[in-house]
Structure formats: structure tokens, C-alpha cells
Amino acid sequence: MNENYNPVERRCKGGKERNIRVSQKISKSLQASNVGNRGSIDGTKHSTATPNSTLENSNAYIQELSEKINEMKISLESMEKERDFYFEKLRYVEILCQKPEVEHLPMTKAILKILYSNDDKHSPLPEAEESINESMDAADLEAEETQ
């Protein structure tokens, strides 16, 4: 009988946990029996991967995925900071455009048109340029009429 085997301890633990030395001996035994890489009765060959090598591969894969997760978290934090930075800049522009001294100017109206556009497929720039051109044409007409 194996001197490391304790049946009372094993029964107390419910038989779910093994003694480390016993499991190491079993894995060594499995490795030795798989050395020949014999086929099964039906002629197919089984994998020579041992539980330890599978565990090592799994641990390496888990480590690789953990590193990718950390990289993605850092990238996400960077993008959020950049988003907040530009949002703050746009908010300042919006506040300036809402000042009573400049809110009636054609350029201010064009800027607000761009800021408040919500159609991702259509660029608001042509409309903003058109409103600036119209107001400039109107200003030119007024200047000609006053002369």
C-alpha cells in the first residue's frame, strides 16, 4: 500500500481532492504510457497532450488574453480622455456662440448649425457655407443700396 495514501483523509474531503504526490505519480504514469502514441482499437490515434501540458497551454492562453484585456482597458481610457477633451472644447465654442454680442452674426449661426447637426450621413458644412454666403450677399446688397 502507498505510504502517502490516507483513506480517512480522502473520505473526509469527499474524494474530490487528491494528494499532490499521488496526482504527480499518476501524470508521470500517463506520460510514460503515452510515449509510444499507440492508436486506439478502432485505429485512430489519440492526442499525446498530457494534463500538465494542456494546463500549461491554458495558463499561457489565459495570460495572453489577460494582457489583451489590459491593453484594451488602457486604450479605452485613452479614448475616453480624448473624447472628453474635444467635447469640452466644443462646449466652450457653443457657450461663446450663445453670447448676445455674437449670436446674430452669420458665422456664429453657421457654427451653431454645424454643432447642432445630428445627421451622421450628411455633412452640415455645405449648408453652413451657404448661410454665410447668403448673409454676405445680403450685406453686399445693403451696402450698395446705401451708396
Question: Structure pTM?
Answer: 0.49
Distance, in Å, from the CA atom of 17 to the CA atom of 13, rounded to the nearest integer, reads 7
- Note whether residue 2 is domain-resident: no
Give residue-wise pLDDT tens across range 68-94: 999 999 999 999 999 999 999 999 999
| 28 falls within a domain | no
Identify whether 71 is part of a domain: no
Domain that holds residue 103: 98-147
The answer to whether residue 76 is domain-embedded is no
Q: What is the pLDDT of residues 119-139, one digit of tens each?
A: 777 888 888 888 888 888 777
In a domain, 130, yes or no: yes
Structure confidence at residue 47 (pLDDT): 57
Residue 112 lies in a domain: yes
The grid coordinates listed for 127 are 449648408
Indicate whether 8 belongs to any domain: no
The count of structural domains within the chain is: 1
Is 59 within a domain? no
The CA distance from 59 to 68, in Å, is 14
